[in-house]
Amino acid sequence: MDYFALPALKIASAEILQDFYDFERKYPHKYFFEVYVPLILRRFFHYTWIPYKKRKARFLLETQQNRPHLLDIVTGAKPIYLLGTFQSYKYLESIKKNILADFSFKDIQLPEDLQKIMDEIKNTNSVAVHVRRGDYVTAKALWQNFGSICSLQYYRNAVEHLKTKFTDPKFYIFSNDPDWVKTNFTFLENYRFVDAAQVERADYYELFLMTQTKHNIIANSTFSWWGAYLNQNPLKTVIVPERWLGDDSITTDEICPPEWVRVSIK
């Protein structure tokens, strides 16, 4: 959070919670709260951790997106633990101006190589293309539900869609598997690979560059979702896969804003 304009005290404030929504009350898995949450809190905050058995609290588990207001439930003196992905654009719509302001990039001083790319982005019909592989490919469970979605055909379809709308688009590719992309994206002609892997704060710089392009082709990944969402070009076109997950039992219709263009993955 130090890299954004978001005040530290605002992270846990009621202002951030004011437009969250309804949740089902459940007791999630003990291991998550005994192991992962303490590690997260210890890393970023000063806090006193209450052992699980001594804790008297309500657990609110998000089971569907965009429910009625959470504040009807978040009452009383007991601590409340929230668990969910909260990945719906509707959570943010009424506070979008605040989100864009709070998550603006501060003190950006790009390394020389990335500054040259930035100059190109500003002077071309630039398109950020995010290709996420890594754990999406190596972990079987993630491959089935996430990694198999954004196929090569999806990227071909996305590129062709933009070519029909815009003159001479130039594609800037962001990926955690550059060798695979260079081998398989032979259908692209006018492109440049953005490789900031050897630079400190690489993810921060890459996310910033994604927000500066004219348009975005995103993966089913929150990284490029935020790159597109924080892109303030009023004329941007954002291409997204027609489905977000392999699991049909999970509703994902509201992950992306309706104006983002869904294209086929086949």
Model pLDDT for residues 134-174, shown as the tens digit of each residue: 888 888 878 777 888 999 999 999 999 999 999 999 999 99
Same domain, 76 and 131: no
Model pLDDT for residues 12-38, shown as the tens digit of each residue: 444 444 444 333 444 444 444 444 555
Model pLDDT for residues 73-90, shown as the tens digit of each residue: 555 556 666 666 778 898
Edge-first strand listing for the sheet containing 169-175: 191-193, 169-175, 125-131, 215-217, 238-241, 261-263
Same domain, 139 and 257: yes
Three-state DSSP state, 108: coil
- Among 66, 174, 62, residue whose Cα is nearest residue 121: 174
Q: Does 246 reside within a domain? A: yes
Three-state DSSP state, 49: coil
* Residues paired with 25 in a beta bridge: 60
* Residues paired with 216 in a beta bridge: 128, 238
Which residues contact residue 107 at a Cβ distance below 8 angstroms, ignoring those fewer than 6 apart?
Answer: none
Same domain, 153 and 196: yes
Q: Does 121 reside within a domain? A: yes
Domain count, the chain: 2
Residue 244 in this model has a pLDDT that exceeds 90: yes
Half-sphere exposure of 123 (CA within 13 A, CB side): 6
Q: Does 8 reside within a domain? A: no
Same domain, 140 and 193: yes
Three-state DSSP state, 81: strand
Domain final residue pick, 51, 86, 121: 86
Q: If 0-12 CB within 10 Å is exposed, 13-18 middle and 19+ buried, where does residue 92 land? A: middle
Same domain, 258 and 187: yes
Q: Does 3 reside within a domain? A: no
Average pLDDT of the residues of the chain: 80
Q: Does 101 reside within a domain? A: no
Query: How does residue 213 score in pLDDT terms, banded at 50, 70 and 90?
Result: very high
Percent of the chain residues past pLDDT 90, beyond the cut: 50
Query: How does residue 11 score in pLDDT terms, banded at 50, 70 and 90?
Result: very low
Model pLDDT for residues 51-75, shown as the tens digit of each residue: 545 555 565 666 565 554 554 555 5
What are all long-range contacts of 229-238, with beta carbons under 8 Å and residues at least 24 apart?
A: 229/89, 229/92, 229/257, 230/100, 230/103, 230/104, 231/128, 232/100, 237/162, 237/165, 237/166, 237/261
Domain encompassing residue 36: 14-86
Question: DSSP character for 198?
Answer: T
Model pLDDT for residues 165-183, shown as the tens digit of each residue: 999 999 999 999 999 999 9
Report the alpha-carbon distance of residue 179 to residue 135 in Å, rounded: 16
Residue 1 in this model has a pLDDT that exceeds 60: no
Same domain, 221 and 130: yes
User: What confidence score (pLDDT) does residue 60 get?
Assistant: 61
Q: What is the mean pLDDT of residues 222-244?
A: 97
**Both tokens of residue 43?**
């890393």
- Predicted TM-score (pTM) of this structure: 0.78
Same domain, 117 and 77: no
Same domain, 73 and 119: no
Residue 131 in this model has a pLDDT that exceeds 70: yes
User: What confidence score (pLDDT) does residue 141 get?
Assistant: 77
Same domain, 125 and 77: no
Same domain, 135 and 68: no
Domain final residue pick, 86, 102, 126: 86
CB 230 within 8 A of CB 100: yes
Which residues contact residue 199 at a Cβ distance below 8 angstroms, ignoring those fewer than 6 apart?
Answer: 111, 114, 205
Report the alpha-carbon distance of residue 138 to residue 112 in Å, rounded: 33
Q: Does 92 reside within a domain? A: no
Q: Does 93 reside within a domain? A: no
Q: The domain that contains 193 carries what CATH number? A: 3.40.50.11350
Report the alpha-carbon distance of residue 174 to residue 155 in Å, rounded: 13
User: What confidence score (pLDDT) does residue 253 get?
Assistant: 87
User: What confidence score (pLDDT) does residue 145 get?
Assistant: 78
Same domain, 128 and 239: yes
Same domain, 82 and 186: no
Q: Does 56 reside within a domain? A: yes
